[in-house]
Structure 1
Amino acid sequence: MDGHIAAKRDAARERLAARDGVLVAFSGGVDSSVVAALAHDALGEAAVACTAKSETLPDAELDDARQVAAEIGIRHEVVEFSELEDPNFVQNDDERCYHCRTMRLGAMYDHARSLGIDTVCDGTNASDPGEGHRPGLRAVAELDVLSPLLAHDVTKEEVREIARDYGLSVADKPAMACLSSRIPTGLEVTEERLTRVERAESLLREWGFEQFRVRDHDGLARIEVGEDELDAALDPAFVEAAREHCEAAGFDHVTLDLHGYATGSVSPAGEGAADEGAADDAETDSDGSDETDPVTNVFEAEYPSR
């Protein structure tokens, strides 16, 4: 590993070692996994990884978080709460990520106090603040969350390099934002919409797609995959499976976006990568960027509903 990156890693670990104990807001993405590994190295049993389970967290992501925590060897706990109890979150405006992160980190602090831990830390890295409108980061600052990667100027690519050095299986894992990021800004977040998105995305996971989203445009499923995976998405067998699976999940119509996967393709202009960029960490966030018309830039011929 490059000596400059190693020095940043060591400084972040020392910052954690100075605490009596820490609770890591842990999604199982690369950023929070690196913080968990550093915390475990620095504090041993005094470090706890904690995942917040709610309607916006896919079950598969919780399973992945458990697996990565086991790789690291860190104690892993799960707390449960519901964003859908907050009308500010449900209305899904451009501050949704702020409301989500405030609730999520609040649950983390409550659990930390129950364990006698004063410090909650997250995986915000030095690349995150420059990635557009990031209301979730305001919640991190307001709640005085410790962000060791940000404090020591560790960028996203450097985080991945540290993860590789630790041998973490998530070193090259794409960011995975919370399910609410699939719903266009202004369209209410409901359990029905979250459930059908999770069910639809389970198919893409089963078919081996690595970078994907199913955007829910009020009953229209817009499938996004990485540009290098578009050919696989046009396979007639997948076309038929996607149509049938998405309709069974509750969608009225199914489309494929020929522009491929893009962070934040359903949210306010100017958010760019927004909180999806940090989504793998601060406990799964959400994405941002231009809210698009439900049928703009999509390919429908292969995916007509029956």
Structure 2
Amino acid sequence: MPTVEEKLAAMKADLADRDGVLVAFSGGVDSSVVAALAHDALGDDAVACTAKSETLPDAELEDANEVAEEIGIRHEIAEFSELDDPAFVANDDDRCYHCRTMRLGTMFERASELGIDIVCDGTNADDVDAGHRPGLRAVEELDAYSPLLQHDISKAEVREIAELYDLSVADKPAMACLSSRIPTGLEVTEERLSRIERAETLLRQWGFSQFRIRDHDGLARIEVGEDELSRALDEEFASAARDYLTELGFDHVTLDLGGYRTGSVSPEGESADAESESKRTDEPLVEDVFSTDYPTSDS
């Protein structure tokens, strides 16, 4: 079985054979590794491109700018709007397919403007076994090239390579697009995306590293990593979070005692931005919360 070093060398040689590539670049660890290797192999003939839309938090765009500068790769910004597509707004089980189709389509348009034929993405070898992945269908249909997948590089190996390149994002937690915070079947709107982003900006400023604000049609469900849950249970934090999120337009503010879980509002097995998604119930989570019979001291 090839070592990480052997896979790395093969991927660099593969990229070096290309006339040029444009890397669909989010600033996450997967696309950053592809960008670093592409720049290493092709120099100025490699370009990183970030698609800016309503679902990309400003903080993530800032991070992408910083990582591109860190790598030394040319960085392009291409703007588009997912909210122009009614199928995306409807937020059905194939939301990620509609999103990825538009996002990669924007990448191919920019690549064409730059005279580049190949668009690379950060799909890794673990992603194909992550269950329902409509976004991968878009990658296949648009014929984007996935060098990590092609050379059988797993997520763990991606992080190992990121450390070899001394990338600051080597241990960066996953950060799926803002629409992944909205339960399937509830429309994606600019208002919801905006209040989610502003709420998550606050959590970031308060020092939380793994978190989500799930928007259940006006009820904010705060998820934080299990190792940070005790901080979120602090009375001062609870009071401040309630006051601020209410000001943002949420009717109710709750803390999920189960902690952060990827895909807790998505279809079973769906994944967002290369992270596997899991649980789904047929009834809305908000109704489940208030219809549960909890034990009392008399029972």
Query: What is the TM-score normalised by the length of structure 1?
Result: 0.91
Aligned to 1:14: 13
2:79 corresponding residue in structure 1: 80
Corresponding residue of 1:183: 182
**Residue 238 of structure 1 aligns with which residue?**
237
Change (3 A) 1:61 1:180: same
After TM superposition, give the deviation of residue 99 of structure 1 in Å.
0.4
CA 1:252/1:26 → structure 2, altered by over 3 Å: closer, same or farther?
Answer: same
Q: 1:277-292 counterparts in 2 under 5 A?
A: 277-278=274-275, 289-291=279-281, 292=284
Shift of 1:289: 3.8
1:121-140 alignment runs, 5 A limit: 121-140=120-139
SS at match of 1:258: coil
Point out which structure has higher relative CO (alpha carbons under 8 A, 6+ apart).
1
Aligned mates of 1:11, 1:92 — CA distance in 2:
39
Pick one of 251, 272, 296 that aligns with 1:275: 272
Instruction: Give the fraction of aligned pairs with identical amino acids, expressed as a percent.
Output: 70
- Deviant stretches of 4+, over 4 Å: 295-298
Structure 2: runs of 5 or more not aligned: 291-299
**1:209 alignment partner in structure 2:** 208
Paired with 2:69 and 2:279, the residues of 1 have a C-alpha distance of 35
Residue 170 of structure 1: SS of its match in structure 2?
Answer: coil
Distance 2:125 2:137 in 1: 15
What is the CA-CA distance between 1:250 and the residue it aligns to? 1.1
C-alpha deviations, 1:93-135, integer Å up to 9, x for none?
Answer: 0000000000000000000000000000011000101111100
Q: Per-residue CA shift, 1:78-101, capped at 9, x if unaligned?
A: 000000000000000000000000
Deviations 1:227-286 (A, max 9, x none): 111001011221112111111111111000000000100012233xx124349xxxxxxx
**Count of aligned pairs:** 288
> What is aligned with 1:34?
33
Equivalence for 2:193: 194
Q: 1:149 to 1:297 in 2, by over 3 A?
A: farther
How many angstroms apart in 1 are the aligned matches of 2:87 and 2:234? 41
Q: 1:209-239 CA deviation, whole Å, 9 max, x = no partner?
A: 1110000000000000011110010112211
SS at 2:220 equivalent: strand
Q: For residues 178-224 of structure 1, give each alpha carbon's deviation from its aligned partner in whole angstroms, at most 9, with x where no partner exists.
A: 00000000000000000010011011101111110000000000000
Alpha-carbon distance between aligned partners in 2 of 1:70 and 1:192, rounded to the nearest angstrom: 32
Query: Are the counterparts in 1 of residues 88 and 188 from structure 2 also a CA contact under 8 Å?
Result: yes
Q: For residues 88 and 145 of structure 1, what CA distance do their matches in structure 2 show?
A: 22
Corresponding position of 1:4:
3
State whether residues 98 and 139 of structure 1, in contact with CA within 8 Å, keep that contact through their aligned partners in structure 2. yes
Deviation, 1:297, is: 5.9
Q: Distance in 1 between matches of 2:21 and 2:78?
A: 16
* Structural mapping, 1:247-266, within 5 Å: 247-266=246-265
Letter of the aligned partner of 2:139 in structure 1? V
- The structural deviation recorded for 1:14 is 1.4
CA contact (8 A) 1:133 1:288 kept: no
| Cα-to-partner distance string for 1:141-184 (whole Å, 9 max, x where unaligned) | 11111100000000000000000010000000011000000000
Determine if contact 2:268/2:280 at 8 Å carries over to the other structure: yes
Alpha-carbon distance in 1 for matches of 2:60, 2:199: 15
Instruction: Please give the alpha-carbon distance, in whole angstroms, between the structure 2 residues aligned to 1:7 and 1:189.
Output: 43
Any idea what SS the aligned residue of 2:54 has? coil
Displacement of 1:10 after TM fit? 1.2
C-alpha distance in 2 between matches for 1:236 and 1:134: 39
Aligned residue type for 1:163: A
CA–CA distance in structure 2, aligned partners of residues 86 and 193 of structure 1: 16
